[in-house]
Amino acid sequence: MVLVMEKKEKFSSLFDVASSTQKKKAKETEKPAERPRGEPLPLENLETAFARYKEMHDEIKAKIEDAFEQAKISPNKVREYFSTPTNFPSAVWREVVETKQELKEKLDSLLPKRSEEEEKEPEVQLKKKTKTGFTSKKRWMQM
């Protein structure tokens, strides 16, 4: 049994006809207009997305803290272990360093460029100590 449709397409079974009509219906439905890649999201979408990301962040943070408690180790010990090159073979350590560098470059490219004045760290001003409570040598007893 061969079914023929309007465009004279030949189908060998009833299932082929059904699948082709579903594909046509999917094509006919209009997709919502996509925003251009460089255009920012509306404020409402940003707020909901930010709230969702914050919830996910808090959930991940709680799971990590639970894992540290179960293992009875501190985050500083883990950080120290992974920052020591003697804990890894040299090839793996080189790959880790390269990956860190690539990640740093990607993050730097995402952040807006800062001016040279902003890049300079503020200089720490040390206060000069003043002598208080001591008498001058002039007033000492002569021996």
- DSSP result, 63-81: HHHHHHHHHT--HHHHHHH
Judge whether 94 lies within some domain: yes
With respect to residue 143, please indicate whether it lies within any of the assigned structural domains. Answer: no
78 within some domain: yes
How confident is the prediction for the chain on average, in pLDDT?
Answer: 76
Q: Domain limits at 97?
A: 43-109
Residue that is written with structure tokens 């449709």 in the block: 5
pLDDT given at position 56:
97
Q: pLDDT of 73-113, one tens digit each?
A: 999 999 999 889 999 999 999 999 999 999 999 988 887 77
Q: Is residue 71 part of a domain?
A: yes
Q: Is residue 37 part of a domain?
A: no
Lowest mean pLDDT among 63-67, 77-81, 99-103, 126-130: 126-130
For residues 17-37, average pLDDT = 61
Looking at the domain assignment, is residue 24 inside a domain?
no
Tell me if 10 sits within 8 A of 4, measured CB to CB: yes
Which pLDDT value is given to residue 59?
A: 96
Query: What residues are paired with 4 via a beta bridge?
Result: 10
Residue 131 lies in a domain: no
| Residue with the larger pLDDT of the pair 8 and 80 | 80
Total count of domains within the chain = 1
Is 2:13 a contact under the CB 8 Å cutoff? no
Q: Where are the alpha helices (DSSP H) in the chain?
A: 14-28, 43-71, 75-82, 90-110, 116-119
Is residue 69 in a domain?
yes
- Model confidence at 12, pLDDT cuts 50, 70, 90, reads low
